[in-house]
Amino acid sequence: MTPLTFPIQSENAVPMENYMKNHFPFAGVPKPQRAQLEKPYLAASLNWSLAELLQVIQENYEKNEREYQYYGIDLALKNVRRLTLEFMKALLPLIGEKSWWDSIDAWRKVYSEWVKVHPEELQTVYSWFYGHEDFWYRRMALNLQLQHKEQVNLELLKKAIIYDKYTEEFFIQKAIGWALREYSKTDTKWVADFLETEQLSSLATREASKYL
């Protein structure tokens, strides 16, 4: 199977690059078209060895256009149920490459889905992100349990929030609010009590309070 190549569509690339603050070049392939182009490759990837899968993900991460990073992450998500702890650890360096909210939140979904399948490894995976010197990894710790509902480990969530309580980074404060807002759908009182006790930033509090 020849490697996936995204067609260059300059008329789309410019607004896509602008939306991402010109951090990355884009081929200009809209998400619906990208999904169609990826579809046969994602299906085929289920039959690749894990070594082959990791290699393809890494190779796509080295390419210039942002769509290739999205494709690499999509490959990981498609195969998430068969990935090993060692494989998940091998992916960690990619999180720190070409980091922005789009890739971080996509990687978060991969790790979040994986720990749903392997709840016994939650503490281990969380430890890879908690307290990391790179705030993007700490955003992963904050949002690792999004949509886990009643299965959320509240001690880990609290620990991650308190660690970054005074961090001024916008994407960290948004992540704190996002994590609490999502959990408020499961336990409104717990979130309300936590906000009253911890006195978080106005941004985090505003985000967290949406459903209270």
Q: Which CATH number characterizes residue 160's domain?
A: 1.25.40.290
Mean residue pLDDT of the chain comes to 98
Tell whether the model's pLDDT for residue 171 goes beyond 90. yes
CA-nearest of 7, 16, 28, 92 to 58 is: 92
Task: Average the pLDDT over 79-84 and give the result.
Answer: 99
Q: How far apart are CA 143 and CA 140, in angstroms?
A: 5
Confidence of residue 137 (pLDDT cuts 50, 70, 90): very high
- Pull the structure tokens for residue 39: 């579809």
Whole-structure pTM value: 0.97
Query: 194 in a domain, yes or no?
Result: yes
Q: How far apart are CA 92 and CA 97, in angstroms?
A: 9
Domain carrying residue 135: 120-212
Task: Average the pLDDT over 128-135 and give the result.
Answer: 99
Query: 91 in a domain, yes or no?
Result: no
4-40 pLDDT tens trace? 999 999 999 999 999 999 999 999 999 999 999 999 9
Query: 13 in a domain, yes or no?
Result: no
CB-count burial class (<10 Å; 0-12, 13-18, 19+) for 40 = exposed
Buried b (16+ CB within 10 A) or exposed e, 80-106: beebeeebbeebbebbeebbeebbbbb
Number of domains in the chain: 1
Query: 6 in a domain, yes or no?
Result: no
Torsion sign across C-alpha atoms 153, 154, 157, 159: negative
pLDDT attached to residue 162:
99
Query: 145 in a domain, yes or no?
Result: yes
Query: 139 in a domain, yes or no?
Result: yes
pLDDT attached to residue 1:
85
Tell whether the model's pLDDT for residue 179 goes beyond 90. yes
Query: 178 in a domain, yes or no?
Result: yes
60-76 pLDDT tens trace? 999 999 999 999 999 99
- Could you tell me where the DSSP H helices lie in 24-129? 31-45, 50-62, 66-78, 85-95, 101-117, 122-129
Query: 142 in a domain, yes or no?
Result: yes
